[in-house]
Amino acid sequence: MSILVNRNTRLLVQGITGQSGAFHARGCMEYGTNVVAGVTPGKGKQSFDGKIPIFDTVSQARKRTGCNATMIFVPAPFAADAILEAADAGVELIVCITEGIPVMDMMRVKAVLKDSKSRLVGPNCPGIITPGECKIGIMPGYIHKRGNIGVISRSGTLTYETVWQLTQRGYGQSTCIGVGGDPIGGTSYLDVVKMFADDPETKGLILIGEIGGDAEEEAAAWIKTNFKKPVCAFIAGATAPPGRRMGHAGAIVAGSSGTAAAKIEAMRAAGITAAETPAMVGETMIKLLKS
């Protein structure tokens, strides 16, 4: 098993004719993802690479191809509307890679999706991959290996580092998901933890967090009483100056809230093993699986 995506996922790409959308759509196709359609308003009835039909609207693409997931590479000023269009069309999984979406736009999206059957991953995220089955996003596919370790992260590059450590040691991943680094997003850390808890194929879990917000603490509190599998974590930003945003829009600390120290303390209080450096995450997880 896996979570959210597998070989049956039928992917739509919103913004497929843009430079980034085209590049990463090809990357997903080369990995083996079943890309069934693209959407670029005004370019309907054309095709992408001579084989993927392009539609003017998500609704048209949904009706014609039965797509059940979408990957969004629409520029930030229009990305919120792209998310809402996908939700209105009933697309079950929406993965928004776009960064820089205005916070007010995402507040509007959040309110609408609350009563929707669609699930949003992101924005400002690397995407999601079930190794050997489906890749939706910008992650390098070759570093992944099919296996039984789940990975949740707010950082794309730290995800790649962790995955490569596992793969080099012969340990594969069940699903890797980047939830995004913006203040307001879709699927939360806790949402994904619960999915991995219910996935019999996932035997261990890695959490990669960073300063800002309380998503990691919320997940740790639930893990303490509900999650029975070994969990390893790494929190980035231990040396970040207070009050300064570091990298992601959501990575800002106000007072004592959201600090790396507070998050690490919450992890350890929940029985989660916290790695001291990114280079130690893979080996720490492997040791937990062997113990």
**Sheet of strand 146-153: strand arrangement:** 134-137, 127-130, 173-178, 146-153, 204-210, 231-236, 273-274
Residue numbers annotated as active site: 248
Spell out a b/e string for 153-191, using b for 16 or more CB atoms within 10 Å of the CB, else e.
bbbbebbbbbbbbbbeeebebbbbbbbbbbbbbbbbbbb
Q: Supply the Cα-derived Rg of the chain in whole angstroms.
A: 19
CA angle 125, 131, 136 (to 5 degrees): 35
* Cβ neighbours for 77, distance < 8 A, ≥ 6 positions apart: 102
CA distances to 26, 70, 198, 240 from 83, in Å: 21, 9, 27, 32
Residue 263, Cβ neighbours under 10 Å: how many? 27
